[in-house]
Amino acid sequence: MNAPCAESSSDPSDSAAPPAARLPRSGDAALAAQAAHRRAADAVAQGDLAGMRDALEEACALAPEQLAWAADLAFAWLQHGEALRARLLLDQRHTAGRSSPTTWLLLGHALAATGEPQRAVAAWERALQRARAAGQWRNVGATPGHLRPLVAQAMQQAFAARRAMLHRVLDEQRALLGPHALRRVERAVSGYLREWDATPPDARQRPKFFYFPDLPSPPYHDPFLQPWAATLQAHWQAIRDEALAVLAEPGQLSAFLDFPAGAKVDDYVGGGGPAPAWDAYFFSRHGQRFDAHHARCPRTSALLDSIELCRIEGQAPEICYSVLAPGSHIKPHYGVTNTRLVFHLPLVVPPDCALNVIGAGAHAWREGEPMMFDDTFQHEAWNRSDQVRVILLMDCWNPHLTPEERVAVKAIVESISRFEQAEP
C-alpha cells in the first residue's frame, strides 16, 4: 500500500528483501526497481502469482518509496497465505498516515486472517469511507477486478458488524426504556439497515444519514413547539448586541462549513457579491463547546445554558451566530437527519434575505421572529443585499420525538459514530 517493505532484521517481514549481493550499489537502483516491477506485471499477465510476489519483493526493497508497489506486495502475500507479513507491512503504511482505500482494505483482510476480527472491521470501515469519498467501488465496474472479491467481503462483514452493534444498542435501550417506547426507533433502525425502503414519501425530503419515519414532516415547523423559543425571542436584542460587538472585531469568524478534501467552495456558496461567504461564530460545533466564545458573549451564553439543548457526542449541539456576507447564496443542499431540526433567531436582516425550502416556498427572515425548519428537505438561502445578515442558528431535537425516543436516538447515533471512527 503506502509503505516500504520492512527493513529491521528482527521483523518477520524482512525476508521480503533480496540478499544484499543482489542490491545495486549505484544510481542504477531505480532502473533495477523498474525492471523488477515490470517482471511482476509480466508474471501477473502469465498467471504466475509466485513470480509476481518474488518480483515485487525485489522491487519494494530497491524502491521503498513506491507506495503503490507495497500495496501490490501486500496483496501478493495475502494471496499466498502470508497474512502476517502483509499485516506488518500495512500497519506501517497506515501508521505513517499515507494510506489509501486499498491500504485499509488489505489491512482489514490481513487482520481478519491473523485473528483480529474487530480491528479488521474497523479497517474495512476506513476503506469503505475513503472509497466513497473518492468515488471508488460504487459498483462492479468501478472496482478493479482483482479487488472485487475482497471489496465484496469487506462490505458484507462491515455491514454485519454494524447490524449486530445496532441490535445490541436496541437491546440495551429496551431494557432501559421499555419495548413499547421504542417501536418507532426500531423501525428507524431497520430502515437505516435497508431492511425496508426508508425513502421518505415526500420527494423533497432526502436525509443524508438517518431517517426517522412516522413523524409529522412539514418543511417548516412552528418554532414555538420548542418550550424555550419564547425565552430566546424575549432576549433577542441582547443577543443581537453581543453579535454586533463580535462582528465589530476583525478576525472573529470562521467558515461555517467543513469542506472535504478536494471540495470547491463555489459548489456550496456563491452569489454575485464582492466576496460571497457563509461564516460563523460558534458557541458549540459538533458537540464541542467554545468556552472563549461563551465568555465573550455572556448574555447569549447564559440564555443557551438555560435551555434544553440537543446533545449528541461529536455531533450536537451546533450553535452559532451565522453570518451571510452581502451578495451571497448558500446553494441547495440537504441535512443529515430529521430527528433534529434547525432553529433560527434572526438578529440582523437586511432587505431581500430569505431561506427557501425548494418546493415549499421562501421564508423571509424578520428580526426577532424565530423560525424552524427541517433541513432534510432541500433548501438554500440568500442575501441579495449589500449588508451582512446575522442569525442565531442552532440545531434542536425534533419536538415530535418522545423523551424516550430522544434518549434512544442519542445512543444509536453515538454508537454509529464510535463504530465508524474505531481505530483498527
Residue 14 scores a pLDDT above 80: no
For residues 51 and 62, what is the distance between their CA atoms, to the nearest angstrom? 17
How many Cβ atoms are within 10 Å of 258's Cβ, its own excluded? 9
Residue 334 scores a pLDDT above 50: yes
For residues 273 and 254, what is the distance between their CA atoms, to the nearest angstrom? 19
pLDDT at 5: 35
Residue 1 scores a pLDDT above 60: no
**C-alpha gyration radius of the chain:** 27
Residue 65: burial class (beta carbons within 10 Å; 0-12, 13-18, 19+): exposed
Residues 6+ positions from 230 with CB-CB distance below 8 Å: 224
* 3-state DSSP assignment of residue 182: helix
Backbone angles phi, psi at 398, to 5 degrees: -65, 120
CB 29, CB 59: distance < 8 Å: no
Give the mean pLDDT of 46-70: 84
pLDDT at 403: 97
Give the mean pLDDT of 252-268: 83
pLDDT at 366: 98
The single-letter DSSP state of residue 265 is G
Give the mean pLDDT of 27-41: 84
Strand partners, 395: 342
Residue 2 scores a pLDDT above 70: no
CB 212, CB 409: distance < 8 Å: yes
Placement of cell 469568524 in the chain: 253
**pLDDT (tens digit per residue) in 105-128:** 999 999 999 999 999 999 999 999
Residue predicted with more confidence, 41 or 276: 276
Give the mean pLDDT of 42-64: 85
20-29, 64-73, 234-243: segment of lowest average pLDDT? 20-29
Residue 18 scores a pLDDT above 70: no
Of residues 342, 354, 343, the one with CA closest to residue 382: 354
Residue predicted with more confidence, 402 or 61: 402
Residue predicted with more confidence, 336 or 144: 336
For residues 94 and 83, what is the distance between their CA atoms, to the nearest angstrom? 16
Residue 9 scores a pLDDT above 90: no
Backbone angles phi, psi at 258, to 5 degrees: -90, 110
Sign (positive/negative) of CA torsion 378, 286, 409, 309? Answer: negative
- Percent of the chain scoring above 70 in pLDDT: 91
pLDDT at 94: 65
For residues 71 and 86, what is the distance between their CA atoms, to the nearest angstrom? 9
How many Cβ atoms are within 10 Å of 369's Cβ, its own excluded? 13
For residues 109 and 87, what is the distance between their CA atoms, to the nearest angstrom? 9
**pLDDT (tens digit per residue) in 281-331:** 999 999 999 999 999 999 999 999 999 999 999 999 999 999 999 999 999
Strand partners, 284: 289, 319
Residue 263 scores a pLDDT above 80: no
For residues 107 and 95, what is the distance between their CA atoms, to the nearest angstrom? 11
**pLDDT (tens digit per residue) in 386-404:** 999 999 999 999 999 999 9
Residue 56 scores a pLDDT above 50: yes
Give the mean pLDDT of 327-351: 98
pLDDT at 374: 98
| Mean pLDDT, rounded, of the chain | 90
CB 204, CB 182: distance < 8 Å: no
Backbone angles phi, psi at 289, to 5 degrees: -80, 135
The single-letter DSSP state of residue 257 is S
pLDDT at 96: 60
Residues 6+ positions from 184 with CB-CB distance below 8 Å: 212, 213, 214, 215, 405
**pLDDT (tens digit per residue) in 151-169:** 999 999 999 999 999 999 9
Q: Estimate to the nearest angstrom the gap between the alpha carbon of 55 and the chain centroid.
A: 39
CB 312, CB 284: distance < 8 Å: no
